[in-house]
Amino acid sequence: MVLSKKRTIDELLQEWQYDEELKQNIIHWQTLEAKPAHYSPFPQSLHPSIQKALEARGIGQLYTHQREAFDFAQEGKSFTAVTPTASGKSLCYHLPVLQKILEDPSSRAIYLFPTKALAQDQKADLNELIELMGEEILSYTYDGDTAPAIRQKIRKAGHIVMTNPDMLHSGILPHHTKWVSLFENLKYIVIDELHTYKGVFGSHVAHVIRRLKRICAFYGSDPIFICTSATIKNPKELAEKLTNSKHELIANSGAPVGKKTFLFYNPPIIHPTFGVRRSSILEVRDLATRLYEAGIQSIVFAKSRVRVEMLVTYLKSLTKNKIKDESIRGYRGGYLPTERRAIEKGLRNGTIQVVVSTNALELGVDIGQLQACIMTGYPGNIASAWQQAGRAGRRQDSALIIYVANSTALDQYVVQNPNYLLGSSPEEALINPENILILMDHLKCAAFELPFSMTDGYGEFEVQQLLEFLQDEGVLVKTSSQWYWMSERFPAHEISLRSASQENVVIIDQSIPAGTKVIGEMDTYSAMTLLHEEAIYLHQGTQFQVEKLDWEEKKAYVREVDVDYFTDANLAVELKVLNEDKSAKYKTATVSYGDISLLAIPTIFKKIRFQTHENIGSGKIHIPPLEMHTNATWMSFDLPENWSEEMLTDALTGAAYAISSFIPLYLQCDRNDLTVVPQVKSVHNEKPTLFVYDSYPGGIGLSERVYDILVPILEQTIKHVRNCPCQTGCPSCIGAQDSLNESKNKVLKVLSILLSEIE
Amino acid sequence: MSYENKVMQLKQMLGKKKTDVKEKPVFQKPDKPVYIAKWQEAGLAVVENDFGVLFKRQVEYPLQYKHGHYELGLFYKALEKWQSTGAEHPYLIDIDEEVLFFDTETTGLKGVGTNIFLLGLLEPTDKSFILNQYVLADPSNEAALLFESKFWQHSKTVVSYNGKSFDWPQLETRWTLNQQFLPKLRVQKQIDLLHSSKRIWKNNLERMKLTQVEEEKLGFKRKGDIPGFLAPIIYADAVKSGDATNLMKVLYHNEWDLLSLVTLYIHSTNLLLENDLKEAATTYTNIGKWYGDLKQQQQSKQILVNVTNEFDDEEAGLAYYFLAFQHKRNRRYEEARHSFEKALKVLKSREKLKVLEQLAILHEHHFKEFKQALFYAEEGLRITSSSTLFKKDQQVKKLEEWKKRYTRIEKKLGK
C-alpha cells in the first residue's frame, strides 16, 4: 500500500497522469475552467434588518440571480430560478418573503419542500437568518411530526409555514377554515426543488396547487409563485404547468464556479466474449481509497441502499485499526435529523472524510461542499448527474468528479460519449395534469373543500360534465346553483400523491410476534412480482420472506430470513388497443399512440442462487390478474421473410431491452416509468409489435413524447448496439444471452426495418 | 348619484392595484329546493330569512315531562342544589345563566366537506322546555340555517355531549365558510357532559356512548332509534330523493339525545352533590378523586371516607388508595400507612406497584422501619420483573429503580 500523504486535487491529478494502470480505464478526461462570480448591489428598497442580517453573514452584495429574483418579486411576477448546487438559491425566496412580511406583518407565505426532512433543514437555516435580523417573524414546519399543541399557533400566527405536498393535500387544504389568516394573507408560495415534481408525483402536486389556488381565491388572496429548480430542459414550462400560472425565468446563476475536472472511468473488460466488465463497486472502492489516502474529502454516490452499505463496509476496513474512527460514513434516506446534523457537522469540521450516499443527497440537503465526487453508475439522467457533481467544488478550489460506469446499456453509452453528459442539454421533466384518473381524484377533493358553481372551472379545466359524473357516482349533490360534496368519505385519504394506483400493499414485519410493525408500502402493480408468497423481499439490505399475502386487505406479512437466493417473478402481459389518437402509416410499418388496456397476470417465480445464478426452485403465484388502462406508443411491422416466430421472439425481446435503456436519454424519467413490451402477434392487428407504455394507470405523458421522438431513440439504439464491443449481445446492449447465436444481428435487423420505414 | 358613490366610481376608474379594492361580495339568495312541499308533508315547517330557507320542527315539553327516571323540571332543582351547597365546580350552572342543550347531526366526521344538516337546540324556560330543530334545506341554503341558530346574537351556556371537540368546532368551520355574509359567531360557555361522564364512570361503564349511559344510568331505553352512523346517508338520500320520511327518524334520534342531556345533567349533579350512594363504589371513588384533582381536599376526603365506611374493603380498595395519597400529602403518615395497607390487599397491577412503592418509602423515610421497607421493596422487585404490564425499556427502567431502592435499604439495615 502507498504511504498516505496529503495532496491537493491538482497534485493528485498530476500523479494520475503518469499512472498507466489507472489511465487505461479513463476513457475521457476533461477540465471545465473556473467561472467568476457576478454580483449586483443590494436593492435600494431592501429592508435594513435584512441587510443587517446578510452583512452579519458576510454577504455584502447579491449574486445577479438573487437580485433578479428580488426584482421580479417586487414587480409582482411569479418566477422560476434555475440554480446549481451551492449558489445561494434560498435567498432567491427568503429575501422577497421576508421583505414582504416586514412591510406588512399580516403577510403569510407557504414554503413547499418535496420531503419533510428538507423542510426541517431549511427551517434551521431560515430561523438563523431571522435571528440575525432581530425581527419577530414566526416560521414553522407543519407536517406529521408537528406537536398538536403548537398546531393552533402555527395556523393562526405562523408567517412562514414550511410543509410538503402530502401534508398540504390531506392536512391543510381539507381543513382550510382553520387556516383563515394564512389563506387571507397568502402573498408567496415557494416551491423548492421544482425538478422533483415530475411524473405521477408532479401530476398529483399540480392538482394540489390548483386546489390551493382555488382556496386562495375564495379567501381573496392571489399569491405569487417562486420556484427554484436544478438544471432541467424545461424549467419554465414545468413551473407553468405545475402552478397553472405564467412564470418569468432566471436562467443564469451569478454564483462563482471553481475549476472542475471530470474523469469518465470504465471498468476493464474481464470476459471479452460476453463483454463482462469488472464490477463498478469494486472500482469505486479502489478509487475512493486513493482519494481517502490523499486526504481528499469526498462523496460517493451509489444507486441503492444495498450498494451504499456494501461500499461503507468495504471502505471502513481502511479505518478498522483506528479506535472510534468516524471518518467514513454512510448516508441514506430515513436518517434522523440529529444523525444528519452530526454528519453535516463532521463534514464541515473535517472529522468525516468520506460519505457514501444514495441519491437522497441529490436534494438540497446542506452538507457543505466537498472536494471530490464519485458516481457509481449513471444516475439515470443529466440533471441528477449535474446535481451530484455539484456536491464537489469549494469556491476557489479545484474539484474532481469521477463517473464510474456500470455495464448497463445507458451507462456504457454515457461513458463512451462524454459529450452527452458534458455538452447536451438535460432532459425534460414531464407532468400530465390531464391524467383523467388523477384529475378526478383531485376534483373530488376540490369539491369537498369548496362547492362548485354551475359555471366554475377547475384550474384550466372545464369540469361541469365531470361534476355531473360525480353526482351520478353519488358523492355530489346539485342544488339550484351549486355542486356540493355529500358523502361521509374524506376523499384526500383515498389518494397517495406518490403513486397513481389507489391502493398500496402494506408490508408488515412479523419477525417478532409481539412487536409486528409496518416497514413499508408498495404499489399493487409492483407487489404482484415482488411481494407474492415466498418472495424474498429486500428492505434496507435485510432479506425478508413473504409468508402471507392478503391480497384483499392489501397486506403482506414478512419475516426476516437469511438465505442465499433471491426470487424473480414472471408476469404475462396482454395488451389491447382501446383507442388510437395518433397514427402514422408507412410502407409496411405503423406507429400509433393511444389508449391501451393491459392485463397483467403473474405466473411463476423462480428462486435463484446468488453468485452462480442457478435456478434452485420455483412455484406458482396466486394473485388475480390486474387490469390497467394507460397510454402507449406502439410500432407494428411485417414479419421479415424467412423468419420463424421463435427467431422473432428473441429479436423483439432484445430490441425491447435496448430501446427501454435509451428512453431515459430523452425524458427525465426512471427506467420503470415506461415499459417496453414485445408482442410477436399483437391482438389488434396480428403483426409483430413493440409497445411502449406508461407504467402508471392513466399515463403521465411519457409515451406520448416517445411518439414524437421515436426516430432519434431508434437511431441511438441502433448505433449503440452496433458499437457494443460484445459479439452476440450482452447486458450493455440487448440483454444477457443464453447462448451464442445471431440475436444481436436479428435485433439490429428489426430495429433497422423500423427506422428505415419511419425516417 | 350620491357623492360617495361617485367617489367610489372614480376610484374604480383609476384602475390602480385592483387587488387592493376588496369588494364585499353581494349575497345572492339561493333558490328554494324543489322538494319543499314534500318535506312539509313529512312534518317539517318552512322558515325563510334573509339568507334563504330552512326547515324547522318545534316541540314543547311541560316541566313534568318524564324522560327515563327524571322529570325535566328537576333540572331547576339541580341548579338550586348547586346554589345551596355553594360548591365550586366546572359543571356548576348559575341559576341566572341562560342554558341551551345543543346537539348536531352532520354529513361526515371531519373536514370542510362535512356539513351540519341538523342543529338541535333544547331550551329550558320557566314553564317548559322548548325543542327547536333546524334542518338544512340544502347545502346552498346553509347561511339561512346558521343565521337561525342565533349564535351570533346571544351568548349562552351550551351543554352538549362531546360538543367541545366535535359539534362546536364543526359549527365554527361552517361559520367561517359563510363569514362574508353572516354576523360574527359569538363565544359561548361550553359544558361537555361526555367529559364529566368519563370522570364519573371510569371503570364502571365500558363505553361512554350516550345510549349506554341512558340505559344503565338514566333509565331510558330507545325504541325504533336509528343508529347515528346512518344519519349522513339518510340526509343525503332525503336531498337526492326529496323524500324526508326517514329523515324524521334522525330528528327523533337527535331529540332523544337532547332530552337525555337534561336528565344526564340532573343525574350527574345528584351524584356530585349528594352522597347517597345509590351507585357502585367506583362511581363515588371517581367523584372523590375528581374533587381531589380540583384541589377541593375537604370534599374529596369526605366522599372517599364515606366509600370506605359504606362499602366492603374489596370494593373500597381504590378509595383507600386515593385517600392514602391525601393523608400523605397532609403529613398524616400513620393514616396514610393504614390506607395503603388496606389498598394493597385489593389492588392489582400498576396501582399495586405504586402502593408497594409508597409503603416502601413511608417505612424507609418516615418510620425508619427498614425491615418492613425491605419487604415491600422485595415484593415490588418481584412483581415488576414478572409483570407483563410494561414495554421492555420501561420495565428495565422500573427494575432499575426498585433495585436501587432495595440496595439502599439493605445498606441502612447494615446487611
Name the most confidently modeled range: A187-191, A255-259, A476-480, A684-688: A187-191
Long-range contacts of B16-23 (CB under 8 A, 24+ apart): B19/A222, B22/A220
pLDDT at B19 (0 to 100): 44
- Local confidence band at A275 (pLDDT 50, 70, 90 cut-offs): low
State yes or no: pLDDT of B104 exceeds 90: yes
Tell which B residues from 14 to 73 touch A, by Cβ distance under 8 Å.
19, 22, 28, 30-33
Nearest CA in chain A to B178: A177
Report CB contact under 8 Å: A449, B112. Answer: yes
C-alpha A148 chain-centroid distance: 32
What would the pLDDT profile of A699-728 be if each residue is shown by its tens digit? 888 899 899 989 999 998 998 888 887 777
> Which chain A residues are closer than 8 Å to B242 by Cβ?
none
Architecture of the domain made up of B36-273: 2-Layer Sandwich (3.30)
Task: Give mean pLDDT, residues A616-641.
Answer: 88
Q: Nearest CB to B140: which of A448, A474, A482?
A: A482
At A334 the pLDDT is: 54
The DSSP annotation for B121-173 comes to EEEE-SSEEEEEEEEESSGGGHHHHHHHTTTTT---EEEESSIIIIIHHHHHH
pLDDT band, very low/low/confident/very high, at A328 (cuts 50, 70, 90): confident
pLDDT band at A200 (very low <50, low <70, confident <90, very high): confident
Closest chain A CA to residue B388: A514
Confidence of residue A2 (pLDDT cuts 50, 70, 90): very low
Of residues A120 and A287, the one with the higher pLDDT is A287
Distance of CA B34 to the CA centre of its chain: 39
Q: What is the mean pLDDT of residues B146-156?
A: 95
**Are B268 and B193 spatial neighbours (Cβ–Cβ below 8 Å)?**
yes
Query: How close is the nearest chain B Cα to the Cα of A547, in Å?
Result: 27
pLDDT of residue A231: 84
- Residue B34: is its pLDDT beyond 90? yes
Q: Is A218 helix (H, G, I), strand (E, B) or coil?
A: helix
For residue range B265-283, list pLDDT tens digits in order.
999 999 999 877 789 999 9
Distance between CA atoms of A549 and A536, rounded to whole angstroms?
A: 13
**Average pLDDT of B362-379?**
92
Q: Which pLDDT value is given to residue B20? A: 44
Burial A535-556 (b: 16+ CB within 10 A, else e): bbbeeeebbbbbeebebeebeb
Q: Is the pLDDT of residue B145 over 60?
A: yes
Tens of pLDDT, residue by residue over A349-365, are: 888 899 888 776 655 55
Q: Report long-range pairs for B125-131 (Cβ below 8 Å, ≥24 apart).
A: B127/B62, B127/B63, B128/B60, B128/B61, B128/B62, B128/B63, B129/B60, B129/B61, B129/B63, B129/B65, B129/B72, B129/B262, B130/B58, B130/B59, B130/B60, B130/B61, B131/B57, B131/B58, B131/B59, B131/B60, B131/B61, B131/B255, B131/B258
Predicted pLDDT of residue A162: 96
A203, A438 Cβ separation under 8 angstroms: yes
Contact B176 A488 (CB under 8 A): no
Which has more confidence, A241 or A366? Answer: A241
Which residue in chain A is spatially nearest to B175 when comparing CA positions?
Answer: A177
Nearest chain A residue (CA) to B18: A222
Contact A50, A95 (CB under 8 A): yes
Please name which of B68, B60, B56, B132 lies closest in space to residue B261, comparing C-alpha atoms: B68
**% of chain A with per-residue pLDDT over 70:** 92
Compare all CA atoms of chain B with the CA of A445 and give the residue at the minimum distance: B113
What is the average per-residue pLDDT within B7-25?
Answer: 49
Average the pLDDT over each of B323-337, B379-393, B394-408 and give the range with the smallest value: B379-393
Q: What is the pLDDT of residue A570?
A: 82
**Domain positions in chain B:** 36-273, 276-347, 352-415
A620: pLDDT strictly greater than 80: yes
Number of H helices, E strands in chain A: 24, 32
Query: Is B185 or A436 the better-scoring residue by pLDDT?
Result: B185
Q: Is the pLDDT of residue B17 over 80?
A: no
Give the CATH class of B276-347: mainly alpha
Query: Which residue did the predictor score with more confidence, A436 or B106?
Result: B106
User: Reduced to 3 states, what is the DSSP secondary structure of residue B246?
Assistant: helix
Q: Is the pLDDT of residue B237 over 80?
A: yes
In which band, very low, low, confident or very high, does the pLDDT at B292 lie, cut at 50, 70 and 90? Answer: very high
* Averaged pLDDT for residues A379-401: 82
Cα separation values, A242 from A109, A245, A352, A645, B339, Å: 18, 8, 39, 46, 69
Predicted confidence band of residue A1 (pLDDT cuts 50, 70, 90):
very low
Express each pLDDT in A9-25 by its tens digit.
999 999 999 998 899 99
Distance between CA atoms of A515 and A493, rounded to whole angstroms? Answer: 26
| Closest-CA distance of chain B to residue A216, Å | 13
Q: Is the pLDDT of residue A477 over 90?
A: yes
The whole-number average pLDDT for the span B199-207 is 91
Indicate the length of chain B as a whole number: 415
Residue A502: the pLDDT is 53
Model confidence band, residue A88 (pLDDT cutoffs 50, 70, 90): confident
- Count of A–B CB contacts within 8 Å? 83
Q: What integer best gives the mean pLDDT of chain A? A: 87
* Integer Cα distance of B82 and B123 in angstroms: 19
Residue from A360, A356, A334 nearest A347 by CA:
A356
Read off the pTM: 0.84
Q: Would the pLDDT of A613 be above 70?
A: no
The winner for highest mean pLDDT among A334-338, A728-732, B18-22 is A728-732
Alpha-carbon span A425 to A410, nearest angstrom: 17
**What does the block give as the cell for B288?**
372523590
Q: For residue A86, is pLDDT > 70?
A: yes
Distance from CA of B37 to the nearest CA of A (A): 16
Alpha helices (runs of H) in A569-683, residue ranges in sequence order: 645-662
Is B270 within 8 Å of chain A by CB?
no
Answer for the pair A580, A594: CB distance below 8 angstroms, yes or no: yes
- Measured between CB atoms, does B389 come within 8 Å of chain A? no
Which member of B112, B176, B233 has the closest CB to residue A174? B112
Nearest to B177 among A177, A222, A486 (CB): A177
B32 backbone dihedrals φ, ψ, rounded to 5°: -80, 145
Is B236's Cβ below 8 Å from some Cβ in A? yes
- Model pLDDT, residue B6: 53
**Predicted ipTM of the assembly:** 0.86
A292 bridge partner residues: none
> Which of B117, B138, B235, B395 is best to mutate for the A interface (most A CBs within 10 A)?
B138
Cell of A267: 471498468
List the single residue in B with minimal CA-CA distance to A478.
B240
Q: Using the predicted structure, report yes or no on whether residue B16 has a pLDDT greater than 80.
A: no
The pLDDT of residue A665 is 77
pLDDT category of residue A501 using cuts at 50, 70 and 90? low
Across the interface, do A479 and B140 touch by the CB < 8 Å criterion? yes
Query: Is the pLDDT at A751 greater than 70, yes or no?
Result: yes
Among chain A, residues having any CB pair with chain B shorter than 8 Å are 174-178, 180, 220, 222, 447-451, 474, 477, 479-482, 484-492
